Structure 1
Amino acid sequence: MQSRVAVFALLMLISSSVQADWMRFRGPNGSGVSDETQATPAEWSSQKNLKWKVALPGPGSSSPIIVGDKVFVTCWSGYGMSRNEPPGDQKDLRRHLICLDRKTGKVLWDRSVKPVLPEDVYTGMFAEHGFASHTPTSDGKHVYAYFGKSGAVAYDMEGKQLWQTIIGDELDPRRWGSSSSPILYKDLLIVTASAESEAMVALNNETGKEVWRQESTGFNATWGTPIVVPVNQERTDLVIGVPYEIWGLNPENGKLRWYCEAMDTDTYCSSVIAGKDGVVYGIEGRGGGSIAVKVDGSGDVTKSNVLWSGRDANRIETPILYDGRIYFFSRGIVNCIDAKTGERIFRGRLESDSGLTASEEPARGGGFGGRRGGGGFRGSDYSSPVAADGKIYFVSRSGETYVIKASDKLEQLAVNRLTTDEEDFSASPAIDGGDLFIRSDKHLYCVGK
């Protein structure tokens, strides 16, 4: 018995050390919350608290991840580089996984992947996020990227390709593409291949061989990233929001364990989040709606496990749970609700760097006719908030990062801008060692005291 306790304690210690890094979309289990104790900055600019700035070989909406002394980020090049120019030839498209030195920003290696054709045409809503929307993930030994029709790819930490697995060859009928990021569970790499195969697929992370596949038409309109939620020592649920419902699956085989009725919307763009008490929260934007549901159970748990539901809406970005409060941002407004009850704590407008409220800020770059994303608050911000050191950070599409104090009233601490150039900021920041890593379609920035 004592030996089992010692082994369990060692595993928990190893797990805690791994969690210290930001190794998947929105960090530890997709929470967006850094559990580190280092102080993070409230203010920065191109001259203040900017440690380094590195040009990327192409655009992308995926978020950076941090693994030890390395930073990883994806982007694309060769096709669809600008709305203002002809997209070019799809055969020249390349997806990139880039590894940078965490302290200096020096590019250590850049690996590219050829496209599986035909690809999504660079036009319409697809051009809002493009060909590099899935955030990579890592187990500290290998790093994994998902490139849609070009498949899932695994590399070692020195950039050697280990395997590449094609998961599906379909295209999104809406021409919106896909964006759900891969996650790791034990020895499985789990990929939501929504547009490519209307399926969630698990691959062996050492070989790339398919272990299980769960197909459903519900995945066709899903863009969020799943999370794993421990139920007890014997059970963990894999949870994702899909049109009209929240699903809990068995991560070992992909089989559906439970579901509940959720938002009345035919698309699910954001990701669900979880508290430490086994409660999962979702706030969706296009159709609106919010929900809190307890994991566990089987079959339809709508009547037994839904704790509360509401009409909150947050557009595309994923909300954040911090100190018992859920924060979400929409159209220049920050909202805060009580996680236990779903009741509103506060709602207020953000102040931009021009002195106007964020919703009054004029668009920069001419919307769809200009740079990707246009600018200002038009209800199309893609970045999700992150939290550390008692502060909530939210990056707008036009490049303003709003910093508010985590409390039961709105207290905006700062609004920061890294550049006056027209850059699209659609990625969620990563946090590590007191630094924030903020990515645009042109640069990767490291901000810290």
Structure 2
Amino acid sequence: MHLKIAMFALLMFISSSVQADWMRFRGPNGSGVSDEKQATPAEWSPQKNLKWKVALPGPGSSSPIIVGDQVFVTCWSGYGMNRNDLGDQKDLKRHLVCLDRKSGKILWDKTVGPVLPEDVYTGMFAEHGYASHTPTSDGKRVYAYFGKSGAVAFDLEGNQLWQTIVGDELDPRRWGSSSSPILYKDLLIVTATAESEAIVALNKETGKEVWRQESSGFNSTWGTPILVNHGDKRTDLVIGVPYEIWGLSPDTGKLRWYCEAMPTETYCSSVIAQNGVVYGIEGRGGGSIAVRANGKGDVTKSHVLWSGRDANRIETPVIYQDRIYFFSRGIANCIDAKTGERIFRGRLEQGDAVAADEREEPAGNRFGGRGGRGGGGFRGSDYSSPIVADGKVYYTSRSGETYVIKAGDKLEQISVNRLTNDNEDFSASPAVSDGDLFIRSDKHLYCVGAKDS
């Protein structure tokens, strides 16, 4: 009997440890929703609820992931650090950085060299740079995708296991790529749209290519695919592409179904799913859609549940308790997942967290130290995606304000918080684990949480 109790306790401990991990872009299956029970902070500042702040080896827009007691994030150095002094592409280095979760101490920093020529650090490419793909992990290894430098696997001690180049083409739009890798069974699935107009599956043990699905339809796609499980029957690999939503077999890459979607020539955000229904809200051209994901062939007439004219930007929406939340140009939006009807729409209050001089300063001037990134105005080009934890929706603007609203049928803003008044670019989505929030800028990684926890 004592052995059974001990085994049960061990299983519960293992379960809680796994549950606390946030091991890919936007956490569990890309949902952005934490299923933990721990309370998460609603307010913070440089003096309040900031556990640690660590300078990173270089800039980046990728999000942090949490694996046990380790935090992983990518960045770059050596080239393109400043629009006014680009340097030499041969000096470009991509970094995978491992930090101690409790202290923020950098445990190891591994670099990967460039495959030349690289995209030039200019225009829209300079809005996010050379480290925009969030890494992923299976709890034993961590996998990073570095565009033309390929997919790379490391063990948790920082030993490189393999590196595979999946494409070396230059993006015709000069926007680069940002889709993050995901794991399925023994496969690492890489969305290499800019590098080869393809989705590629690699054996996660060896890095060898298992399947490749190429299509010109992947051009101008920057979202990360999700897995939609239909019980024991099948799992669909779903991604939004210009004008359509596609469902593929994650085992073979073959197209199973597709539907007409938003009339947009680019698809920047990622789709989300709940109970076998896929939702998309996109920016350029606008539009929203809900489609059942278990179809075959063209399902436009048979599986689309509703469509609307909701407009998102670059960030991915989040669904929680049948409500879809998304943010655009300082406006919080919430629609009913079952009907697509609006629940609320309202402007976020900046509050005292934003310094008065910053309220009046043009957005394009906030990052003069790096050549004025975001000259088009940050309200229209926030990159971070919202997440949900402890019944609260968190959304970080590119200029560094994190808004906290209560999940519900009306807009109830709890707070707006800043971690710094310095010129930092917050383009990554937060990660959450054990009641702590991990928020990354182009200069630092921050851990926010109750200091006595």
TM-score range, shorter chain: over 0.9
Residues in 1 aligned to 2:377 and 2:209: alpha-carbon distance in whole angstroms: 43
Tell me the C-alpha RMSD between the 2 structures.
2.1
Residue 302 of structure 1 aligns to a residue whose secondary structure is: coil
Asked if structure 2 preserves the Cα contact closer than 8 Å seen for 1:362 and 1:376, the reply is: no
Task: Please state if 1:347 is matched with 2:345.
Answer: yes
Asked if structure 2 preserves the Cα contact closer than 8 Å seen for 1:264 and 1:288, the reply is: yes
Residue 127 of structure 1 aligns to a residue whose secondary structure is: helix
Asked if structure 2 preserves the Cα contact closer than 8 Å seen for 1:371 and 1:422, the reply is: no
TM-score between both structures, scaled by the size of structure 2: 0.93
Q: Which residue of 1 aligns with 2:400?
A: 399
Residues in 1 aligned to 2:236 and 2:252: alpha-carbon distance in whole angstroms: 11
Residues in 2 aligned to 1:442 and 1:288: alpha-carbon distance in whole angstroms: 32
Residues 311 and 161 from structure 1, CA distance in 2 versus in 1: closer, same or farther, beyond 3 angstroms?
same
Asked if structure 2 preserves the Cα contact closer than 8 Å seen for 1:353 and 1:400, the reply is: no
Q: Which residue of 2 aligns with 1:214?
A: 213
Residues in 2 aligned to 1:218 and 1:63: alpha-carbon distance in whole angstroms: 26
Residue 119 of structure 1 aligns to a residue whose secondary structure is: coil
Residues 243 and 125 from structure 1, CA distance in 2 versus in 1: closer, same or farther, beyond 3 angstroms?
same
Residues 243 and 15 from structure 1, CA distance in 2 versus in 1: closer, same or farther, beyond 3 angstroms?
farther
State which of 294, 297, 300 in structure 1 corresponds to 2:295: 297
Q: Which residue of 2 aligns with 1:310?
A: 308
Task: Please state if 1:279 is matched with 2:277.
Answer: yes
Letter paired with 2:85: P
Residues in 1 aligned to 2:235 and 2:13: alpha-carbon distance in whole angstroms: 19
Q: CA shift at 1:323, angstroms?
A: 1.0
Unaligned runs of 5+ in 2: 1-9
Letter paired with 1:28: P
Residues in 2 aligned to 1:144 and 1:97: alpha-carbon distance in whole angstroms: 9
Residues 152 and 57 from structure 1, CA distance in 2 versus in 1: closer, same or farther, beyond 3 angstroms?
same
Q: Which residue of 1 aligns with 2:255?
A: 256
Q: Which residue of 2 aligns with 1:185?
A: 184
Q: How many positions carry a matched residue from both structures? A: 438
Letter paired with 1:227: I
Q: CA shift at 1:33, angstroms?
A: 0.5
Unaligned runs of 5+ in 1: 1-9
Q: CA shift at 1:374, angstroms?
A: 5.4
Task: Please state if 1:435 is matched with 2:433.
Answer: no
Q: Which runs of 4+ in 1 moved over 2 A?
A: 10-20, 353-356, 358-365, 367-378
Residues 234 and 361 from structure 1, CA distance in 2 versus in 1: closer, same or farther, beyond 3 angstroms?
farther
Residue 303 of structure 1 aligns to a residue whose secondary structure is: coil
Q: CA shift at 1:232, angstroms?
A: 2.5
Task: Please state if 1:45 is matched with 2:42.
Answer: no
Q: Which residue of 1 aligns with 2:145?
A: 146
Asked if structure 2 preserves the Cα contact closer than 8 Å seen for 1:376 and 1:396, the reply is: no
Letter paired with 1:63: S
Residues in 2 aligned to 1:423 and 1:378: alpha-carbon distance in whole angstroms: 15
Residues in 1 aligned to 2:67 and 2:287: alpha-carbon distance in whole angstroms: 35
Letter paired with 1:213: R
Letter paired with 2:279: Y
Q: Which residue of 2 aligns with 1:87?
A: 86
TM-score between both structures, scaled by the size of structure 1: 0.94
Residues in 2 aligned to 1:13 and 1:196: alpha-carbon distance in whole angstroms: 42
Letter paired with 2:437: L
Task: Please state if 1:156 is matched with 2:155.
Answer: yes
Asked if structure 1 preserves the Cα contact closer than 8 Å seen for 2:238 and 2:271, the reply is: yes
Asked if structure 1 preserves the Cα contact closer than 8 Å seen for 2:25 and 2:135, the reply is: yes
Q: Which residue of 1 aligns with 2:30?
A: 30
